[in-house]
Structure 1
Amino acid sequence: SETLSAERRRLGGLLAQVLDDAAKNALAQLLVRDDTLSQLAALKQDAKNFGWRQMIREREKRALLEPLHRIAKALLPKLGVSQQNLLYFASLANFYTVHDLRNLKADQTQLYLLCYAWLRYRQLSDNLVDAMAYHMKQLEEESSAGAQKSFVAEQVRRQQDTPQVGRLLLIYVDDTVADATPFGDVRQRAYKIMPKDTLQLTGQRMSVKPVSKLSLHWQAVDGLAERNRRHLRPLYVALDFSGTVPDSPWLKALAWAKSVFAKQQRLSQRPLAECPVATLPKRLRPYLLTFDADGKPTGLHA
């Protein structure tokens, strides 16, 4: 109809005004075949799961679209098109084949691809957020389960030791053991109840404060460190975070961590003063920090 034709001409004219050569080339690049698959065809493929390799591809696709998404965010509002129509135009880029898009009018193809880049970037971001939530839940569940398992094992070990320790203590109040009995004889009697090596280990274990559940939890977290580096860290680095709390120390800490990882460094290699103090709660400092012989914090345990 004439109305549709007029709208197409209007949008085509606006695109011609706002799209520079760099933007046009970036959009056209999506339709260029590399071996057997165009970039657009690759972008349309969804991740099968939240596995490491799948998330690498999702991050790569998102990084590819990032410049186009930035262009789309700036240009699409100038077109005066409703969000419903933007979604419709994006669906056309998904509907048409690469061959079809090459044969459409240039401004039509550019409009569809621009809307698709805007939408697909958001979808990929959502996928990464979902993956992050999934791996965070896995981490929490596994670390909690590991800590509980260690706690139960320690309790069982102490319960197993209790009867023997009780028998050892009773030696000291046994009236059949004369006060003049050489201590060596008493010791040999004790070894019959509990072998020397076992007695030493049990004594050492019972002489110190039992490991707390919190400590066991962080031991379990440390045991999952490699998985965190492999799965979670790349997601946190790739995503952009914002918050409603002004000057949030957590956002500052995240920005700092990203800058450290960008330099291919570990957090433990940076001065402790760089880390926002508010993100190091007092009760967690024994697990988050390293200390010198005098008990003075020297850096992050990371």
Structure 2
Amino acid sequence: MTRRQSFASLHEFARSFLDVAGISTESGRYYASLVRYYTVYKLQRMPVRVARLYLLCFAFHRFRQINDNLIEAFIHLVQQYEKWARAAAQEAMLKAQSDAGSRLQAAGKLLGLFVDETIADGTPFSKVRKQAFALLEREQFEPVSGYLRNVAFDRAGFKKR
């Protein structure tokens, strides 16, 4: 980012200058490549205007290259975040499925209290409630009962049995 900022004002000038001078993108790219080809000594011995043109083209293309690199880095980071988010979502889903499975088993045991022959008919409801809360936490009653109210009967699954 620091490197990009150092080239920013030069890039603006180069963009407008190259447009006014009528230098094509390919020519500008060629002139920029000459900066890498010539040594500093040879560039200093060239006519000043030619050397400055080469350096201006070099700065212009280097700025664009830096931008391209930053964009690719940003895309890579976004893809990494998406990958981490998918993994976290998968982990959360598996945990939720595991929790739901254990809660549904507890709900099944809770329903079993209604037909449990060991519980006398005259047993106070508060005692049965204590047993129910031992099977399923109080906070889980509403989500589990909501889930059970919305479960549809799977006819295809039943026919396979």
TM-score for both structures, normalised by structure 2:
0.76
- The equivalent residue for 1:94 is 36
Cα deviation, residue 94, structure 1: 2.2
Structure 1 189/78 Cα, relative in aligned 2: closer, same or farther at 3 Å? Answer: closer
Cα deviation, residue 177, structure 1: 2.8
Secondary structure, in 3 states, of the residue corresponding to 1:172?
Answer: helix
Tell me the amino acid that sits aligned with residue 102 of structure 2.
Answer: Q
Residue number among 118, 129, 137 corresponding to 1:199 in the alignment? 137
Cα deviation, residue 168, structure 1: 1.3
Tell me the amino acid that sits aligned with residue 170 of structure 1.
Answer: G
2: distance between equivalents of 1:182 and 1:83?
89
Asked whether the 8 Å contact 2:32–2:54 carries over to 1, the reply is yes
Residue number among 61, 77, 82 corresponding to 1:140 in the alignment? 82
Identity of aligned residues (%): 33
Deviations 1:3-36 (A, max 9, x none): xxxxxxxxxxxxxxxxxxxxxxxxxxxxxxxxxx
2: distance between equivalents of 1:102 and 1:87?
20
Structure 1 68/208 Cα, relative in aligned 2: closer, same or farther at 3 Å? Answer: farther
1: distance between equivalents of 2:132 and 2:23?
88
2: distance between equivalents of 1:117 and 1:98?
15
- The equivalent residue for 1:177 is 119
- The equivalent residue for 2:50 is 108
- The equivalent residue for 1:242 is none
Equivalences, count: 147
- The equivalent residue for 1:47 is none
Cα deviation, residue 126, structure 1: 1.0
Residue number among 6, 14, 21 corresponding to 1:79 in the alignment? 21
Secondary structure, in 3 states, of the residue corresponding to 1:91?
Answer: helix
Cα deviation, residue 144, structure 1: 1.9
Structure 1 207/189 Cα, relative in aligned 2: closer, same or farther at 3 Å? Answer: closer
- The equivalent residue for 2:12 is 70
Matches within 5 A, 1:1-302: 59-190=1-132, 194=135, 199-203=137-141, 205-206=143-144
Structure 1 126/181 Cα, relative in aligned 2: closer, same or farther at 3 Å? Answer: same
Q: Which has the higher helix share?
A: 2
Tell me the amino acid that sits aligned with residue 57 of structure 2.
Answer: C
**Gaps in structure 2 of 5+ consecutive residues:** 148-161
Asked whether the 8 Å contact 2:103–2:144 carries over to 1, the reply is no
Asked whether the 8 Å contact 2:11–2:63 carries over to 1, the reply is yes
Cα deviation, residue 95, structure 1: 2.6
2: distance between equivalents of 1:164 and 1:87?
71
Relative contact order higher in (CA < 8 Å, ≥ 6 apart): 2
Query: Which structure has the bigger radius of gyration?
Result: 2
